[in-house]
Chain A
């Protein structure tokens, strides 16, 4: 990936190649010629690669720390419990790759560069920038263009093979990573996005922006998951709202925006523990109300995906 000047206006901007910061950039002539505005050939290459991937699901949230990676990991675990279902989990949170730890693969480095995958089970493969770092203290201090290059490589250069579900875990926000993954998968067709939130308004206000982003880029929304929805004290069994739904929580927001609410997952301290130990919470705590809710959400996602019509058409619009 070539380095770009740190005030790069973007290869597809009207200022491409013409801005003051473009002077001396190796790509200046190319950008000024308007070539940057042409479609990236990688998009077609990725479309070809993705022909063997049946369903693609993005897990998004405007807000950080609401449980995207936790949910992505458990969606992958849940789907892969059927050994005839091939599942791939791709972590594009380049600065904060949590998936290796949550999946119990921390410390694994991708042994075979050509394959790129780390297999947890025969039918569950995981890819993350975390596998490319040699130490847990290594920081990935990259600007947007370099992150975009990595995402392109993940999508184009990984040997995906026959996959029933590709789950893409994303960082919080509405920026480079999100634009890139939507752009690069544009021709390959994404089934939809699952949006994660917690009940309080501070989260919902960011999540509404994420929903607005989905509409802008015409990404169908499968539905919203409300995490950390109430806490039952293990001693007295009484419920507390640690993150109070002061404006009605995800339920009110979904009603307002006419988006399905897939489920409300309560706080269970065993969830955090399972993630820290790299184990599936669904297996560690099968009787937890959180597990019951996760399983019901996973089923609804499967139903949504199975309604998807052949190439180019979709039953449920954005």
Chain B
């Protein structure tokens, strides 16, 4: 993978494809989708890295049961935390740099930008098939910093996550504008928390409405990748740091999550260096 002229290829030289997971809205499931995507790609035999640039609310370490681990300095930079013995998923998050887990990262923009640049240039990712970048909600410092830092490496694009209701879609529209403005291709839109099937009587209730994501995808002219329903087993798996893809193949959430991974896997490398 070639970097921009004049820059050394650096620590992303061995990374084949970069996918950003974005949403204008908080709490729609970016970290969930990032984690499940990484697990699904691993099951497809790929080596995956996850870069968690949510500095104020780093959720991914816990979702993979590696919270509290320490990061070490190697010759090429920080060594990311490996989630499994086979070293098929590696993770970097500010969560690993905190002395206390409840310590708040109370930083203004410039300091956040500096750390994000370091996460991109100073983490020894090694050889990866995919780097999944989990982001915080919004269209601000973190997003601009990570897009700028990753630009020389031509990311595959962005997965944009929403929930069905209008209040979410309202923010996510702005995120799509952000992608357009910074030249980031939208691989597709995912509608999360799309309906809940009562485990007692199988009645489906649209707790957060339905259909807003699909309609937004149509309006904005981006591919719609699917609706992921609410599943307490999924939430519980993330709480416990379990491998949902392996443990719950019969879950109503499984088909949509698999289809998202398939879409990423089927992206051809044409046009990428």
Contacts and interface: CB of A to CB of B under 8 A. Distances in A.
A8 B238 CA distance: 37
Given A95-B140, A202-B238, A7 B113 contact: yes
Contacts of A242: 196, 207, 230, 232, 235
B171 interface: yes
Interface stretch (A31-39, A114-122, A139-147): A139-147
Interface string B121-163: 0000000000000001111110110000000000000000001
Nearest to A246: B239
Contact of A6 (B24, B113, B198): B113
A136 B216 CA distance: 12
Interface in A253-308: 267, 269, 272-273, 275-276
A23 interface: no
A176 interface: yes
Given A95-B139, A96-B174, A175-B106, A236 B232 contact: no
A231 B170 CA distance: 25
Contact of B203 (A62, A98, A138, A234): A234
Contact of A209 (B105, B163, B177, B203): B105
Contacts of A247: 239
A206 interface: yes
A201 B177 contact: no
Given A242-B196, A243-B235, A102 B167 contact: yes
A220 interface: no
A275 B136 contact: no
Contact of B107 (A145, A175, A243): A175
A229 interface: no
A137 B173 contact: yes
Contact of A276 (B136, B137, B165): B165
B167 A140 contact: no
Contacts of A7: 110, 113-114
Interface string B182-217: 000000000000001011110101111100000000
B165 A137 contact: no
Contacts of B72: none
Contacts of B207: 231, 242, 267, 269, 272
A179 to B, nearest CB: 7
Given A62-B57, A242-B235, A145 B109 contact: yes
Given A140-B174, A143-B109, A269 B205 contact: yes
A127 to B, nearest CB: 17
A236 B201 CA distance: 7
B62 A8 contact: no
A138 B177 contact: yes
Given A137-B176, A233-B203, 16 more contacts: A6-B113, A10-B110, A62-B56, A65-B26, A95-B24, A140-B174, A143-B144, A144-B141, A172-B27, A173-B56, A176-B109, A213-B106, A269-B209, A272-B165, A272-B207, A276-B209
Interface of A: 6-10, 62-66, 69, 94-96, 98, 101-102, 106, 136-145, 147-148, 171-176, 178-179, 198, 200-202, 205-206, 208-213, 216, 231, 233-236, 238, 240-244, 246-247, 267, 269, 272-273, 275-276
A-B interface, 7 closest residue pairs, ranked by CB to CB distance from nearest: A65-B27, A64-B26, A144-B109, A173-B56, A95-B138, A139-B177, A235-B203
Interface of B: 24-28, 31, 55-57, 59, 62-63, 101-114, 136-141, 143-144, 163, 165-167, 170-171, 173-178, 181, 196, 198-201, 203, 205-209, 230, 232, 235-236, 238-240
